[in-house]
Structures are given as structure tokens and as C-alpha cells.
Structure 1
Amino acid sequence: MTAVNTVAIVGSGVAGLATGIQLAKAGVQVDLFEAKPELGTGGSGISLQGNALRVFDQLGAWDDIRAAGYAFEGLNLRAPGPGAPIVASLPDVKTGGPDYPSAMGMPRAELARILFEHAQRAGVRFHFGSRVTAITQTDEAVELVVDGTPAGTFDLVVGADGINSTVRELIGITTKPEPTGMGIWRTFVSRPAEVERSELYYGGPVYIAGYTPTGANSMYAFLVEKAQDRTAVDADEATRIMVEESRAYDGPWNSIRADLEGGAAANYTWFTKHIVDAPWNRGRVVVIGDAAHSCPPTIAQGAPQGLEDAAVLSELLVERDALDQELWDTFHARRIPRATAVVQASVQLGQWQIDGDRDADAGGLIFGIAQQMAVPA
């Protein structure tokens, strides 16, 4: 017996899809509502730490994801300037345990496609182009209203609808993402043969320049700068800015610039931070993933934390026989301290860069968080 029989999930990102897969596999009727007309296939690439890979295995999706991505161990640090010499090669903590690589890069669109297909096979019912406009609940059930029309009554509603979550607002949680002062340019390009792991450059005209391999022939690259209003920048200007800001970086950046000049798109977003204080639920409605917490990708734990939210919530809903306060207390005890530690560490690493703090122990902070993540959520 499960704690719920019917669940509505709002949002088709990794946290929503992972929750849907696990619950549907356990026999729960799952309806997933997505405001966009189709599954999101945009974006560049994504870095996934071992604790994310461990969750994919729990979902039954690990073999497909491993085949579609690029697994690697460790991290290179390069210096800006001529030749881009490697100044340090750092090992990674295997946050997923010995059975998984330390890290993996893959195209975001491929990750979305694989999880979507697994959710379909598990029996999740998808409703695209469906914007949630109201939520009403009693002690026993939740009614979801989509585009002004009742869409059904459920035992639980899971808001996995991103940093600007509608569900979070509808249930009265006022916490919202705040800018951290950094912005990031991203692009999706071909992978030079010499790039076999993530590499970062500190110094030069931007805070951080880097890239991560995502496949045999692909990788995504990024430049982290002081946050600026880039809303009026068109596609051609975006490419020009990324090319110019990267000229201080040699080595594989020469190939990246060639791809940008050949038509690779550049996109820009600001880093944000937030963490919803306990509780993440209001009655029978709960927020997870980016709806509950966001942070800069300085330690690549954004998606893994959303996946852990999904894994822990699904585990408790499947193992327990009642959606009661004990279940929520256990969920919050297992998730909020861990997610908070990640958000705080991610923000601190960025702030040290903004402040130009050369004495900060960035390596110690990253290693400490990785050791925490190595213990299953």
C-alpha cells in the first residue's frame, strides 16, 4: 500500500519526471501537467555528479543515460593566456559511490528525452500546454484547476515547476529567487579530442571560463561574468560578446570560438539563490527541485539536488501508508539541511570570486560538500 493513489505533478523538468517515474512504477496514477506546449528541448549541456547518476539507476534509466552522455573523472584547472597550461589536475569524490563515474556531461535535450520516455513507459499521463491557475484542497484531497477549468482531484500535488514556480505562489510561499551578482554565457559546441573532463580557467576578463564534455562529439562551454542586463542583446550580438570575452583564453577555447563564429548560439542567464524554509508543503501540496531551492552551478549540484528531492519523496510515498505529519517531518529532515548546505556553499564560492578573495579555501569547501553528497540522501 502507498501513502497516495493519485498524484498530479506540475512541471516536466528532471525533478518532476523522476518523481513521476518512481510513483508510476509503484502503481500510483500520475498525471503530469506542463505549461509549455511540448517537452523542453532547449539549453546546452548539463554536468551531473555521481549522486545524480545514483538516482538515475534507481529510476531504471542509468543504462540509457550512460550511453547518451560522456562520463569522466576529475577536473583540470588551466591558466588564462598563451597555451592555456594545465596548472592542476584534481580528483573528484565519487558522490554516487564506487559503481558510478565521478561525473557525466550530456546534452540537456537528451536527458529530457530519456526521462520522458521512461515516464511514458511507466504510465505517467502527460498534459502539455496546461497551465495551473488555481489549487484548492481539503484534508483529504487537492483539486487542480488548469487554464481556469477543473482538471481533477488528487491525493497529492507536487510542484516541480522551476525557479519561478506557480505552485509555490499559489500555496502562499513567498520565498523567491534572488540574483547573486553573476551572469553566465553558455554555448553548445563540438568537442576537441583533448577535452576529456571538465576544465576551468580562473582569472582573465571574466570570473570563470570553462567547458564540460557532453558526448563523443559535443561539449558545452560557459563564461561567468558580473551580472548585466543583457535583455536587449540579439542572437548575433550574444555570439559576438561571447567570442570577445573568451579571447583571453587559449587552448580548446580556440575551437569554441570557431564554432561560435560558425553559428553556434550563445545564451545568457543570471545566477540565482533561494531556499524555502521548512515546510516545503502546505497540506497536500509540496514543492521540490528548483521550486524549493536554487543556486549557482559552481559545484554542479542543482539538478542532483532536485533528483534527490524526487527520490526521497517517492521513497516515502511508496513505503508509507499515510500522507501524515510523520512522513513530512522525515522528508524535510532528509532534504532541507542537505539542500541548504549545497545552496550556501554554491553561493559562497561565487561570492569569493566577486570579492576577489584569494585566501578563500574553495577547494576545501568543494571537497567538504562532495563528502556530504557521497552519503545517500
Structure 2
Amino acid sequence: MTVNSVLVLGGGFTGLTSAIALALRGVENVTLVERAPAWARVGHGITVQGNALKVFQDIGVVDEILRRGFGADGVTLFHADGSVMMRLQTPKTGGEDLPATLGALRADVHEILVERALELGVKFRLGTQVVSFENHGDSVSVLLSDGTTEFWDLMIAADGIKSSTRPKLGITAERASSGLGIWRGVTNRLPEMTGGIAYPAPGDEGAYKVGYTAISATQCYVFVLCEPQRTPNDLPDWQEMKRLMEPFHGEFDWLRESLNESTYLNFQEIEWIFVEEPWHRGRVIALGEAVHAVPPLIAQGAAQCVEDALLIADYVTREGDLEAHLTEFQERRIPRIKGVVDASLQLAYWECHPGSPDAQPGRVMAQALAELVAAP
């Protein structure tokens, strides 16, 4: 085996899935460091596409994720007045035995991954950061924030779009604004409300679109796409989200009125990055959103991250030259991720420029997802 010890930086979906996949492939020492001092059960919902569910199936957690979430095979598109535009079937990118998509709480998926990692013997060091690292041919020395220096066969940097590791690898690409901002929240839903997206009427100002995904038998994850910066007003978050949803009716009237001061809400500017430069230098490689993060318009961000995680475990446990394996891994990943990036940025442009004469979001979305049916 090429590596027997791996340090994983970052305790999100990419880092946890990488650690689990490495342990399943027999790597003796897998340790994950996370800067947060404790795992926090906070966060909004997430739409998990079929190809991500396939990865979760391969690492032995899909049954529990399916049990806690809510699976669906399509989404209803609405006009702003609440009338149905069309029912869009989502390609089954994970195979016929899995739902096309699944709505879930991020905290639930994270908790399941943590439990699986512990079950497999992955060691966690919370409240710990990587300060610096140095390659030494067949190993990498890592200085941690607790003052210790350790040697590892490989370090995986899964430290997200704001990665501090990325520039240390000589990567010059930087994250950029997509032109969009997003409000996210979790609220109750009616039984018949399984998933929908509503588009504004011509001339409406404010939200570019609103949508929701069922995440359990009684709850849903609701989102509002809007300008990248929060409107400067004195409204509390829940009232601002309600204001942006005012032009949307039908099911969205019910969702809007369900928001109150106790609703968990989050607003952020949507940024993106796509690194085509080498992701690795020596015995350190960056994965997931550290090297590719996209607007969530086809819900493929997390899916592409966990695909990275599953595949890197395969490549680094092969016999032979690790440098060649890391290069081959990236060469395999780039075309698939580029398709997601290109489609997501095109959709983001059309969201920011309503009325574009060439806009065909349904076609672009369907084509991008159809291309992901093939194995990664």
C-alpha cells in the first residue's frame, strides 16, 4: 500500500468521507483535525443528489441517511402566482435503487458521518489547526496549533472554499462572487409539499427565485436566491426573508407565513472557485471545496466533494508511484467537475440577468445532471 498514515484537515463532508473511505481501504492511521472545538448541531438543510447517495452507499451510511431524510425523484416548478409551470423529473445519478434526490438536515448527515468514522477507528482532534507543513520526499511533516510536529505519509486538505492550505500549495486561483446571495432556513411543511421552485413574474424586483425541499415527514429546507449583499434595512432576518418571498404565492404563501423569530436562518454571498492547476504538491493534496465550489443551482456541490473523497482513497492505496496516482486522480476528476462548474455558472448568470433571450435553464440543468449518471 502506498500510504499507511493520513492526516485529514477539515471535518466537513469532504474530510469525513475521505477519512471513512481511507479507513475502509485499510489505512492503519487516519486522523482528522478540525478547528472547531466541538461538533455543533447547527445548519440548514441540504439537497443530496443521487451520485452523492451512491458514495454514501459505498461507505456504509446511506440507509441511515435515507431514514432521516426525505427522498424524491423530481421537483415542481411554479409561476409566481402559484400556478404550476411543469414537473421536472431529476435523473437518477446514483442508480435506479436510490432516490434521484434526498432532502436532509446538514447536521443529520454530518452526525451520521462522524459516527461511521468513529466506528472505523478514525481519530479526531477538535480545536486543532494545521499551522504549516513541509514535504520530505516520502512523507510530510505537519506543525499543529498545539505545538506538536508530526510526520505523515499524506495530508488531505479539505478545509473548504476559504482554504488556508490552497495558497501554500502554490495555487493562484482565488474564490470569486457568483453575483448571487442566498437565504436558507428550516421550517414546517404540509404533507403534500415535497419540493418546489418558483420564478418571479416579469418586472418583479427582489428575489431571483424561491424554493424548498422536504427534509423529513414534517419539515423542509427553504431558500431564497437574491442579490449577493443583504439589503440594508432594519428588518430582523426572518422578516427580511418574508419580504423577499412576498411576490410568490400558492405553497409559498404558507411557507412565508411559517417563518418567525425562532426560525433558524442563514444568509451568505455565494462564491465559487475552480482550480485547474495541480491540486497537490508532494505529499499534500487539496480536495472538495478547497479546489472546486459552485453555486448550488443543480445541487452538485456536496456530491462532487464526496466523489473526490471516495476516489482519493482508491488512488492513494494503490501500489506504485504516489505522485503519478495523485496526478491521475485529478485528471480523472477535472472534466466531470468542469461540466458542473460551467452549468452552475451559466445558470447563475441567467438568474442575475432575467429576461436573457438565450436563457434555457431547464435544458442546461437536465443536460448537466444527465451527464453525471455515468460513474465518476
TM-score range (shorter-chain normalised) is over 0.9
The aligned counterpart of 2:330 is 332
SS in 2 for 1:101: coil
The aligned counterpart of 2:71 is 71
- Which residue identity does 2:238 align to in structure 1? T
SS in 2 for 1:215: coil
The aligned counterpart of 1:304 is 303
Displacement of 1:233 after TM fit? 7.6
- Superposition RMSD in Å: 1.6
- Which residue identity does 1:207 align to in structure 2? Y
Identity %: 33
The aligned counterpart of 1:211 is 212
Displacement of 1:228 after TM fit? 1.3
TM-score (norm: length of structure 1): 0.94
The aligned counterpart of 2:285 is 286
How many aligned positions are there? Answer: 370
The aligned counterpart of 2:139 is 141
The aligned counterpart of 1:201 is 198
Residues 79 and 85 in structure 1, CA contact (< 8 A), matched pair in contact too: yes
Runs of 4+ in 1 over 6 A off after TM superposition: none
Structure 2, gaps ≥5 residues long: none
SS in 2 for 1:166: coil
- Which residue identity does 1:294 align to in structure 2? A
The aligned counterpart of 2:53 is 53
Spell out, residue by residue over 1:209-230, the C-alpha distance to the aligned partner (whole angstroms, 9 max, x if none): 0000101111110110111156
Residues 311 and 329 in structure 2, CA contact (< 8 A), matched pair in contact too: yes
Displacement of 1:279 after TM fit? 1.2
Residues 4 and 322 in structure 1, CA contact (< 8 A), matched pair in contact too: no
Quickly say closer, same or farther: Cα 1:333–1:172, change in 2 above 3 A: closer
TM-score (norm: length of structure 2): 0.95
Give the distance between the partners of 1:233 and 1:152, measured in 2 at CA: 50
- Pair 1:345 & 2:346 matched: no
SS in 2 for 1:334: helix
Quickly say closer, same or farther: Cα 1:243–1:325, change in 2 above 3 A: same
Give the distance between the partners of 1:245 and 1:212, measured in 2 at CA: 18
Query: What pairs with 1:1-377 in structure 2 (closer than 5 Å)?
Result: 2-28=1-27, 29-81=29-81, 84-147=82-145, 149-196=147-194, 198-203=195-200, 204=204, 205-229=206-230, 237-261=236-260, 263-318=262-317, 320-356=318-354, 357-377=356-376
Residues 312 and 331 in structure 1, CA contact (< 8 A), matched pair in contact too: yes
Displacement of 1:39 after TM fit? 2.0
Displacement of 1:27 after TM fit? 2.2
Residues 133 and 148 in structure 1, CA contact (< 8 A), matched pair in contact too: no
Spell out, residue by residue over 1:247-274, the C-alpha distance to the aligned partner (whole angstroms, 9 max, x if none): 1112222332233225213210111111
SS in 2 for 1:41: coil
Displacement of 1:148 after TM fit? 6.0
Residues 183 and 271 in structure 1, CA contact (< 8 A), matched pair in contact too: yes
SS in 1 for 2:372: helix
